[in-house]
Structure 1
Amino acid sequence: MSKIIFITGASKGFGKLWAEALLQRGDKVVATARNVAALDDLVAKYGNNVLPIKLDVNNRNEVLSVVSTIEKQLGRIDVLINNAGYGLFGTTEETSEEQARLQMETNFFGSLWVTQAVLPVMRKQKSGHIIQVSSFLGLTAIPMLGVYNASKFAVEGLIETIGLEVAHLGIKTTLIEPNGFATEWAGASATQTSAAIADYTPVREGFAKSGENPDTWGKPEATVAPILEVIDSATPPQRLLLGKIAYHAMQQVYTQRLKDIENWKEVSIAAHGH
């Protein structure tokens, strides 16, 4: 049975790739983007199965209006894929107030506004699946992406909490946590901090060098089958890492975290006071 799937940030990258894969198998896709002209090829190919809508997720009123339109025209929303977002590159000290606020506005608040707008529809249905594109950098951090890391840490807490709040209503949540992929995320969709501080040159150079190995970057098309599997699962995971870099990094991070927890166990318990 075909599903009605609402995808934000569908003009390029993961959003467009997944939208086309869903359309190819017969699902109906509401594809939103700030530039809807980028969706013309999908409309030409899939006709009425795709509903292209202009949407800036930073505009809460526009988000509410779009969800109302979807409900009126299609009657339901089976799956939300919160994909809109971008990367902000530079050290944390170099990040301006405007850049930091806009990063959080899009990556965190944009996801919040869309999820809040969709939840009433899913509550009425007593079903639905919220798939949030996060990052493995919502679980650990690397330099040069401080505010981006923070935005994804925030998204992780948001969606995990919502999952606990809506489980009894038949609504599921999944956090998708990719490592770097060869999409526009680190290119056209990225923003750089402005003034470079010389003291951070070694950090900047080390970061640039880490991305020189082509094996670091996953192949976007390889994510299609895993995403379809998550959408089709009766028991989807709360979290899904995408890519071998993310898997190995998180295995190491959690091993060390558990070690630290156990090493400091007595101090932690004593801090309770009784």
Structure 2
Amino acid sequence: MTTARAWFITGASRGLGRAFTEAALAAGDNVVASSRNVEPLADLATEYPDTLVVLPLDVSDRKAVFAGVDRAAAAFGRLDVVVNNAGGLLYGMVEEATEEQARAHLDVNFFGAVWVAQAVLPHMRAQGGGRLLQVTSMGAAGGMATVGFYGAGKVALDSVSEALAMEVEQFGIKVTIVEMGGYDTGLFTKGITQTEPLPAYDALRAEIAEMWGEESGPDPSTAAPVIMELAGLPDPPRRLIIGGTAFDQVQELDKARADLYREWESLSRKAPG
């Protein structure tokens, strides 16, 4: 008989977090689902009264995160799989962002994930292991106009997660950087903060919008089976791209960067070091 795992998922009220929550519950696992607004989870709480705990949580509040994680660990006695998924989108050119917008964005997308990781590690270390899935983005492969701060937060989380994986592997804790492709998560609607547009960027803004088009991407539920399989691997990868289209695009970005390096290799080599 398979023992039910205990999940802790942030940003669980919509998009990918909601899809992962539903998949884990359907598999017979226990889930602590956290979000700033937990009202959208009421239907799941009714459907799974014994295996779902709903936890209101603002991940940008470090003190609240540590208290919330303690509650999550106590709910089912352990934390087997933690999905660091909470995040939002700051949409606009770099010049347009206010200090308040930039800091608030990174407080959630980067520091919030760091606080969750710091809070869950003592529990995982005490129990002898666990899985930490750090949800970044295929966009972490490079910056893109209008979503520079979103990419910055994901790149920062990517880098910290690489270091974290090396640090905690000795405790039986496995960290995987989950590079998500473009899914219809509501990020550009419910999870968005927009800057005040400067007319100087109108042409570029229109060009970017046309390039992206109106395709919203596949439903987040289509990514959930991959996450479930990943969480069950005895020796999971350090990083994983989720989505075939995303995989191809990341390979193209990596190749373009490598080609650029080679093009200017002679100038690079003029300096020692």
- 1:38 aligns with 40
Inter-partner Cα distance in structure 1 for 2:100 and 2:241: 31
Q: Deviation of residue 22 (structure 1)?
A: 0.6
**C-alpha displacement of 1:241:** 1.4
Question: Which whole-Å deviations, capped at 9, do the CAs of 1:26-55 have from their partners, x for residues lacking one?
Answer: 000000111222211111001110011111
Paired AA for residue 177 in structure 1 = E
Alpha-carbon shift at residue 159 of structure 1 (Å): 0.7
Q: Aligned partners of 1:247 and 1:72: how far apart in 2?
A: 38
- Runs of 5+ in structure 1 lacking a partner? none
Distance between the aligned counterparts of 2:74 and 2:211, measured in 1? Answer: 48
Aligned residue for 1:252, secondary structure, equals helix
Contact 1:140 1:250 in 2 (8 A): no
Aligned to 1:107: 109
Deviates more, 1:173-182 or 1:13-22: 173-182
Alpha-carbon distance change, 198 to 156 in structure 1, aligned in 2, over 3 angstroms: same
Q: Secondary structure at the match of 2:59?
A: coil
C-alpha contact 1:80 1:130 (8 A) present in aligned 2: yes
* Distance of 1:7 and 1:85 partners within structure 2: 12
For 2:69 and 2:123, the matched residues in 1 are separated by 9
Q: Contact (CA 8 Å) 2:79, 2:124: kept in 1 or not?
A: yes
CA drift of 1:268 comes to 4.4
Deviation sequence 1:250-269 (CA, Å, 0-9, x none): 11111122233444556545
Query: Which stretches of structure 1, 4 residues or longer, exceed 6 Å deviation after superposition?
Result: none
Q: CA deviation at 1:206?
A: 1.3
**When the two structures are superposed, what TM-score results if normalisation uses the length of structure 1?**
0.93
Alignment partner of 1:123 out of 119, 122, 125: 125
Aligned-pair RMSD on alpha carbons? 1.6
How many pairs were matched up?
271
1:25 Cα offset (Å): 1.0
Distance 2:74 2:241 in 1: 35
CA 1:206/1:179 → structure 2, altered by over 3 Å: closer, same or farther? farther
Give % identity. 37
Tell me the distance in 1 between the aligned counterparts of 2:119 and 2:207. Answer: 41
Aligned mate of 1:5, from 7, 10, 13: 7
Q: Which amino acid aligns with 1:119?
A: L
Distance 1:238 1:139, change over 3 A: same
1:226 matches 2:222: no
Listed as ranges, the matches of 1:165-244 within 5 Å are: 165-194=167-196, 196-214=197-215, 217-244=217-244
Write the letter of the residue equivalent to 2:191. Answer: S
Give the C-alpha shift of residue 272 in structure 1.
3.5
